[in-house]
């Protein structure tokens, strides 16, 4: 797993092929006792959403003001985002005890209720669904939920895989079934290094 620093905040790099998948990757070490968390604050959530093209950079000042006016509401948005991420991850990697479509649908329906058809000026067709209120504090979460709806209703949802790297679990789109790691540069190479070290230990033990 890798990260970058944006606006003084550590955010994960995007490797998954879809923003909703990269949103799942704001946690690493899924299923581990102490997973790596990237969504610590509202600032982390909003900056991540901007960097992944889900909200316009021009909305950031209004979002910062909204979060400063009502920090409790901003904290609740982060908590909802974390819960939504867990439900979305469970749906994507396969049914099980944590498979919670209700939790996914709650946020998707909230995003749908705040959306309308439109287009950027000059007016051109085809139109697209757009979130109406660009200054409300839950805009980043609504944008993530709308992105998740786009993914879940596409064929790409059937080709999601999770990285088996130690402490990883990042998801990515794998339509050709040829990709194993989130990145060969990180988990792939670490796995190679571990296997090489194990072979050396076994060779040494046989001497």
**From the CB of residue 93, how many other CB atoms can be counted at a distance below 10 Å?**
18
Task: Please give the average pLDDT of every successive group of 10 residues along the chain, which has 207 residues.
Answer: 90 94 96 92 98 95 96 98 96 74 94 85 77 88 96 94 92 90 75 48 52
**Confidence at residue 183, expressed as pLDDT on a 0 to 100 scale:** 82
Helix (H, G, I), strand (E, B) or coil at 74: helix
pTM over 0.75: yes
**CB-based burial label for 91 (10 Å; 0-12, 13-18, 19+):** buried
**Confidence at residue 118, expressed as pLDDT on a 0 to 100 scale:** 79
Q: Has domain 3-179 been given CATH number 1.10.3300? A: yes
14 contact partners, CB below 8 Å, separation of at least 6: 22, 25, 51, 52
**Confidence at residue 203, expressed as pLDDT on a 0 to 100 scale:** 43
**Confidence at residue 58, expressed as pLDDT on a 0 to 100 scale:** 94
Q: How far is CA 135 from the centre of its chain?
A: 21
**From the CB of residue 202, how many other CB atoms can be counted at a distance below 10 Å?**
9
Nearest alpha carbon to residue 189 among 165, 156, 153 = 165
**Confidence at residue 95, expressed as pLDDT on a 0 to 100 scale:** 64
Quote the DSSP letter at residue 13. P
């Amino acid at each position: 797993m890798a990260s970058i620093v944006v606006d003084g905040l550590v955010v994960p790099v995007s490797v998954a092929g879809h923003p909703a998948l990269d949103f799942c990757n704001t946690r690493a070490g899924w299923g581990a006792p102490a997973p790596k968390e990237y969504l610590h604050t509202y600032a982390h959530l909003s900056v991540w959403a901007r960097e992944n093209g889900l909200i316009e950079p021009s909305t950031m000042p209004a979002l910062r003001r909204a979060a400063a006016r009502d920090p409790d509401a901003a904290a609740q948005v982060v908590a909802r985002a974390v819960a939504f991420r867990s439900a979305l991850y469970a749906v994507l990697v396969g049914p099980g005890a944590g498979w919670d479509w209700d939790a996914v649908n709650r946020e998707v329906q909230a995003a749908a209720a705040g959306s309308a058809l439109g287009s950027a000026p000059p007016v051109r067709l085809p139109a697209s669904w757009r979130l109406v209120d660009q200054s409300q504090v839950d805009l980043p979460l609504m944008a993530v939920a709308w992105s998740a709806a786009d993914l879940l209703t596409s064929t790409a949802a059937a080709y999601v895989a999770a990285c088996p790297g130690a402490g990883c679990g990042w998801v990515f789109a794998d339509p050709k079934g040829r990709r194993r790691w989130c990145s060969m540069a990180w988990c792939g190479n670490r796995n190679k290094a571990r296997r090489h070290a194990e072979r050396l230990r076994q060779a040494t033990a046989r001497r």
